Amino acid sequence: MKNWSDVQSHFTVKLQGSGAERLLNQCARDGMQLWEIKRPDATSLVFKMASKDLPLLRKHARGTKVKVFFLDKHGMANAKSMTKGYSGFILGIGCFLAILFLASNMLWGVKISGAAPDNEHKIRLVLEDLGIVRGTTFFTLPSPEKIQKLVMDQIDTAVWIGVERKGTIYSIHVAEKEMPKERQAYSPGHLVAKKAGTITGMFIEKGKSMVKLNDYVQKGQVLVTGKTTENADASAVVASRGKVFAETWYQSTVEVPLQKDIQTLTGEAHKNTYVHIGSWRLKVWGFGEDTLQQVFVENETTPLTIAGWTSPFAWETLVRKETQKQTISYTLKEAASRAKLRAKSELLQSLGEDATIKEEKVLHQQAENGKVKLSLHYRVIENIAEPKLIVQGE
């Protein structure tokens, strides 16, 4: 009885009065559970009894001169009493656990890897048709094996598709068929100059060179011919391949301002913090007034990850940093240097990957209306060869 009394609902009761012992004997004869009976004094008895026997105690005590005192509550009786004062808190914990259980069993995203953009789009359309969309509970979705089969039936260019559930997301891995690469077809033809220049080097794979080093060539001039003999028939005509490097020349005009406006941080900032549960967002910090006008925004969201499982909960920090306009002034020398860098960068972007700038020369420099204007001349080494088909009858 003692061990079970630690769990079951029971009370510590005190009976006081001249008939306390007689009342206790009547209760025992009626089958009430009584234990740890003590006599503090001649007219009092202290004992423990089960909560379910309270109606019997009240029945026997009615009409007597014995006073009944409840000294303490134990077991479930005490728990019930405590829960009355914390019912709101307990209800909140219960709702939180329910939301957590529901959120952890909902689909919050689909990650697809290994698929080409068009195949990824097709897979997402198939998933939408199957009802596999964000916010759907996993209880209502097909198994990963079934999803894999249904997607495989719709994607012809995939040799294997793996579907795996990772926490609250589906991870889909795609292995696509390797399509044979089309071999580049070369038609019989010459290599001609796409611009004028002085020949500085040649690398001929096929064809017969028509120029030599230090020759000056015009645009459209044949550099390498596909006719390997003077009286070549159709079988002797090849597709000329190779590179012919020449020194070419470019002129560029560029201007830059002597002053430039930039945005700098003042050091003032307003921070907002949010808690995310899926697509829901709750603000927990940053309720003060935000008086910043021109701002630069930094946003960082950190998901809650437990042992590799990404939960639907996340912590977002959004900082609005105040900025101000600042004017930077350049000397003529600094502005000219910036103009050269800009012109050189633009030229390199327009040239081929094999091109290099051999020499840069300033032809003219002028400062007016708050700007520096430069005229530049460049000597460039680049591949000037481009293919040209041999027309029948040439």
Give the model's pLDDT for residue 267: 83
Give 330 or 312, the one with higher predicted confidence: 330
| The CATH homologous superfamily of the domain defined by 108-176 | membrane protein fhac (3.10.20.310)
Give the model's pLDDT for residue 219: 93
Give me the mean pLDDT over the 320-342 stretch: 90
- Does position 111 have pLDDT exceeding 70, yes or no? yes
Where does the pLDDT of residue 362 fall: very low under 50, low under 70, confident under 90, or very high at 90 and above?
A: very high
Return the half-sphere exposure (C-beta side, CA atoms, 13 A cut-off) of residue 362: 14
C-alpha of 363 from chain center: 51
CB neighbours of residue 258 within 10 Å: 16
Q: Find all residues with CB under 8 Å of 306, minimum gap 6, and list them.
A: none
- Does position 252 have pLDDT exceeding 90, yes or no? yes
* Contact call for residues 181 and 149 (beta carbons, < 8 A): no
The values of phi and psi at residue 242, to 5°, are 155, -175
Give the model's pLDDT for residue 245: 95
Give 123 or 7, the one with higher predicted confidence: 123
pLDDT digits (tens, 9 = 90+) for 122-173: 888 888 888 888 878 877 888 888 888 888 887 777 778 888 888 778 888 8
Per domain, the residue ranges of the chain are 10-74, 108-176, 187-258+330-393, 260-328
Give the model's pLDDT for residue 60: 84
Do 10-74 and 108-176 come out as alike in CATH topology?
Answer: no
CATH architecture for residues 10-74: 2-Layer Sandwich (3.30)
pLDDT digits (tens, 9 = 90+) for 49-104: 888 888 888 888 888 888 888 888 876 655 555 555 566 777 778 788 877 777 77
pTM score, two decimals? Answer: 0.46
